[in-house]
Structure 1
């Protein structure tokens, strides 16, 4: 499915409202003046307040990207596109749900 290419300046949150920041390992390829995000880049979450039903805090701290673009790559890695297939996770790898992308560039579309 085609979609806009994600970049480090994309506005995103975890399902619980924590801020998601994409950290690009290689700023070589850029869209809208910011490094394009690829499947191997880190997604760090801050400010998540998720708690499991046993009242144990399990805030989302990272994002595991699952699927990227199938036809477009940067430095040999698939680009991340919106809608993204990913899962926000706690430090203990407990899934918290998919990230919510609320804003990104719209000029570059990848499949």
Structure 2
């Protein structure tokens, strides 16, 4: 998957507009002074307004499912703006409106 690298400074929301905050692993690689996000890093989501249905409550956590195919940090693919993400338990994607434009990965 190709796209701009996602950093901890990249704003992200669940599909229901609640802010998502990443809890990054060790900051081994930085872009513009900010650690990059890998597919192992978990986002916490607070304030999701999705009305719970049976077995499917509001968004609580999220993570990237696919990342860069050729760029890894500590053996783990980095998250890219064109990658696939998923929120738990709703299975909706993260919304990342703006990603840093300086470093792109593939």
**Same topology, TM > 0.5:** yes
Runs in 1 of length 4+ with deviation above 2 angstroms?
Answer: none
What is the aligned partner in structure 2 of residue 19 from structure 1? 19
> Pairwise mapping of residues 1-111 of structure 1 onto structure 2 (< 5 A)?
1-53=1-53, 58-89=57-88, 94-111=89-106
Higher strand share: 1
Count of paired positions:
106
The DSSP-based 3-state class of the residue aligned with 1:20 is: strand
Q: Is the 8 A contact 2:56 2:90 kept in 1?
A: no
Q: Is the 8 A contact 2:85 2:93 kept in 1?
A: yes
Q: Is the 8 A contact 2:5 2:81 kept in 1?
A: yes
Question: For structure 2, which runs of at least 5 residues remain unmatched after alignment?
Answer: none
Q: Is the 8 A contact 1:4 1:81 kept in 2?
A: yes
TM-score normalized by structure 1?
0.86
The DSSP-based 3-state class of the residue aligned with 1:67 is: coil
Q: Is the 8 A contact 2:58 2:90 kept in 1?
A: no
Kindly tell me: are residues 57 and 80 of structure 1, through their superposed partners in 2, closer, same or farther at Cα, counting changes over 3 Å? closer
